[in-house]
Structure 1
Amino acid sequence: MGEDLSTIEFSSKDETVVFWNLEDYPIPRGASLDLIYPNIESALHKMGFHGHLSIMAFGDKLYHDIDALSMANIAYDPEVSPGDDSCVWRMTAEIVSFLAVSFPMNYMVVAKQHPELYRVLHCLKSRNQIVLLLEPPGDTAQQDTLFPCVDSVVDCTNVFGGGKPIHALRDNRVYCYLCG
Structure 2
Amino acid sequence: MSSLTSENAEAKVGVFWDVEECPVPDGMEPSLVCENIKLALEKKGYRPCNVSIRVYGEKTNKFKDDFLLADIMFLPAGDARARYMRMGDDFFCWGFDNRKSTLMVMSRDSTEFASSLTMYKNLNFNILVAQPENAHKRCPDCRRPLEMIITDEWIWESLSAGGDPITKTQEPDLSNSCH
> What is the TM-score of this pair, normalised by structure 1?
0.66
What's the CA shift for 1:23?
Answer: 2.9
Q: What whole-Å deviation, never above 9, does each CA across 1:93-125 have from its counterpart, x for those lacking one?
A: 101111331553211110122554221111111
| Aligned equivalent of 2:66, options 65, 68, 71 | 68
Please give the alpha-carbon distance, in whole angstroms, between the structure 2 residues aligned to 1:82 and 1:96: 20
AA aligned to 2:33 is I
The structure 1 residue matched to 2:37, chosen from 35, 40, 44, is 40
Structure-2 separation of matches of 1:102 and 1:56: 15
Matched-pair contact (CA < 8 Å) for 2:16–2:87: yes
Does structure 2 conserve the Cα–Cα contact (< 8 Å) formed by 1:37 and 1:72? no
The 3 A distance-change label for structure 1 pair 75 and 112 is same
Cα separation, 1, equivalents of 2:78 and 2:26: 22
> In structure 2, what is the Cα distance between the partners aligned to 1:118 and 1:21?
16
Check conservation: 1:37, 1:73, Cα contact below 8 A. Answer: no
Per-residue CA distance 1:38-86 (angstroms, 9 max, x = gap): 211121111111251111011217231x2311233421111x2435x11
CA distance in 2, matches of 1:115, 1:134: 11
Alignment partner of 2:3 out of 1, 4, 8: 8
**2:13 aligns to what SS in structure 1?**
strand
Alignment correspondent of 1:142: none
* AA partner of residue 10 (structure 1): T
Distance (whole Å) between structure 2 residues aligned to residue 75 and residue 109 of structure 1:
15
Name the count of aligned residue pairs.
145
Question: Greater helix percent: which structure?
Answer: 2
Please point out which of 99, 110, 123 is paired with 2:119: 123
Mind listing any 5+ residue stretches in structure 1 that lack a counterpart?
Answer: 1-5, 140-144, 165-180
In the alignment, is the contact (CA less than 8 A) between 2:21 and 2:107 conserved in 1? yes
In structure 2, give the amino acid aligned to 1:94.
D
Deviates more, 1:112-121 or 1:93-102: 112-121
Q: Give the SS at the match of 1:155.
A: coil
Match of 1:23 in 2: 20
Contact 1:10-1:47 within 8 A present in 2 as well: no
Of the three residues 88, 103, 106, the one matched with 1:110 is 106
Q: Which has the higher contact order (CA 8 A, sep 6+)?
A: 1
How far residue 88 of structure 1 moved from its aligned partner, in angstroms, is 0.3
Alpha-carbon shift at residue 30 of structure 1 (Å): 3.3
Structure 2, unmatched stretches of 5+, are 136-156, 171-179
- CA drift at 1:37: 1.9
